[in-house]
Amino acid sequence: MPIPRTVGRWNKVGLNRITRRIAPWLPGFGVVEHRGRRSGRRYRTPVNVFATEGGYRFALTYGPDTDWVKNVLAAGGCELRTRGRTIRLVAPRLYRDERRQGIRPLERQILRLLGVADFLSLRAADQPEAEARSGLPARPSAARRPTPGRARPRTSRAS
């Protein structure tokens, strides 16, 4: 994890309360509005955000195992408040990119120094799927379709 969990907890309790108010107006920042997976409660989380063609990319400075990322993945999307606008985002895709492609040089260096290489990309709900993938590292072909002759993994049933 790039930034220690203790720092994340402190930010969650203190700094995020302030950041939530100014992040929607600052370049490179935004606020993700999402619902808790279990509670259904609405949350607002300040994030580093980068516009892509047809969507947005988030630098996961605390890693991919944070509650907000799990909530967005479980829900299949979220709302993003950035630069004074609210955008509905769908089709979340978690990926790792050590080269930090598509990030401006200054931010790329900062993310490299912090050890951040995990990202979450989403497309704007009003954009076709093909446009949202532009500029992202290609998915491995195995992730797109199962290998012929190979059984698909079973999904667990609720008991």
For the structural domain made of 5-138, what CATH number should be given?
A: 2.30.110.10
pLDDT value of position 18: 65
Q: State the Cα–Cα distance between residues 47 and 77, nearest whole angstrom.
A: 15
| Full pLDDT tens readout for the chain, 159 residues | 466 666 555 565 555 666 666 677 678 889 999 999 999 999 999 998 999 999 999 999 989 999 999 999 999 999 999 988 999 999 999 999 999 998 999 999 999 999 999 999 999 998 877 544 444 444 433 333 334 444 444 444 443
* DSSP states of 61-103: TT-TTSHHHHHHHHHTEEEEEETTEEEEEEEEEEEE-TT-TTS
Closest CA to 8 of 147, 116, 102, 82: 116
Phi-psi region of 15 (alpha: psi -120 to 50; beta: other; left: phi over 0): alpha
Q: State the Cα–Cα distance between residues 17 and 11, nearest whole angstrom.
A: 8
Kindly state the tokens that stand for 113: 């120094």
pLDDT value of position 22: 64
pLDDT value of position 140: 38
Q: What are the backbone angles phi and psi of residue 137, rounded to the nearest 5°?
A: -60, 140
Kindly state the tokens that stand for 144: 């797109």
Domain residue extents for the chain = 5-138
Kindly state the tokens that stand for 62: 């605390």
Q: Determine the distance from the C-alpha atom of residue 137 to the mean position of all C-alpha atoms in its chain, rounded to a whole number.
A: 15
Kindly state the tokens that stand for 158: 């609720």
pLDDT value of position 121: 97
Closest CA to 7 of 63, 75, 79: 63
